[in-house]
Structure 1
Amino acid sequence: MIRLELASSWEFPRGSAGRSYLIRVPLTEDGAIDTAALESQPARATVRRHWPNQADMVGHLERTPVGYAIRYEMNGNSGADGHGDHLLFQFGADAIRVGEQIFLTEPDGRQLRFRIASLQ
């Protein structure tokens, strides 16, 4: 499991551990996303977005040609186009390391920087 926490930003100069993503995804022994395992059992790759004073958003992680996307189930369905909101981000083929930072595109289009807080 990968835990991402909001990194420093204009609104949160010290970041915010309360604004986080928990990503359950298979990792290789060296800490990279195991794309073969992800593709063979996609339902096991789940995501939970936690924001204070908001209901958690739950979705599934999917590999795309440009990185990874989270498909959210919205109000019991998956949106007018058959899919929920997308959040695109890139993890390279290299190991994911605690302390590294990545940018996520939120469902509203904002790009936010997150820190990899833990790996399990």
Structure 2
Amino acid sequence: MLHRITLHLARCSEYPEGSARHGYEIIAPLDQNGLLDPVEWRSRRNHCRVRRFWGSDVDRHGILVHRPGGSGGATWMIDYDPNRSSDDEAGYRLSKHRFIPGEYVSIQDEDDKLHTFQVVTVQEVKLAGTAPGA
């Protein structure tokens, strides 16, 4: 089942209280434990979208991809432009982190800077034209 996950920047030196103005909104499949589900991702990848909001910067829109390689045999990435890889952002061990409110995850931006985010909300997404539980 797809979920809308909202992440806010966690406390860091630049934002000692964290920041709700910096983060991500991710549409992704989660299993019953709140882990990203690569099997369901394969069948719903066209719906797995990401919006990056970063203060006063223009929002960036991309797709969530699951690529071979990396820790555990695969890496979850955010791909903003399928024609180049220099703008991709990698999740740090996202396959091991639970997406439930209060938990933390890390994403490495295109400048190779690792940021930590707190999971703020997780909501089920109902796709138009799908039956409940589909």
- Common fold: TM-score over 0.5: yes
Alignment of 1:27-42 (within 5 A): 27-42=30-45
SS in 2 for 1:40: helix
Cα-Cα RMSD: 1.8
Q: Tell me which moved more, 35-44 or 88-97.
A: 88-97
Gap runs ≥5 in structure 1: none
Task: Give distance in 2, aligned partners of 1:29 and 1:114.
Answer: 21
SS in 2 for 1:30: coil
**TM-score (normalised: structure 1):** 0.84
What percentage of residue pairs aligned between the two structures are identical?
A: 27
Q: 1:21 aligns with which of 21, 24, 37?
A: 24
Gap runs ≥5 in structure 2: 124-134
Of Structure 1 and Structure 2, the greater helix share is in 2
Q: Which residue pairs with 1:102 in the alignment?
A: 105
The answer to whether the aligner puts 1:71 opposite 2:79 as a matched pair is: yes
Residues 69 and 87, structure 1, Cα contact 8 Å, conserved in 2: yes
Query: 1:94–1:6: structure 2 CA closer, same or farther, 3 Å change rule?
Result: closer
Q: Tell me which moved more, 96-105 or 10-19.
A: 96-105
1:12-31 CA distances to partner (integer Å, 9 max, x unpaired)? 00000010100001222332
User: What's the CA shift for 1:94?
Assistant: 6.3
Q: Which residue pairs with 2:63 in the alignment?
A: 60
The answer to whether the aligner puts 1:86 opposite 2:91 as a matched pair is: no
SS in 2 for 1:69: strand
Residues 86 and 110, structure 2, Cα contact 8 Å, conserved in 1: no
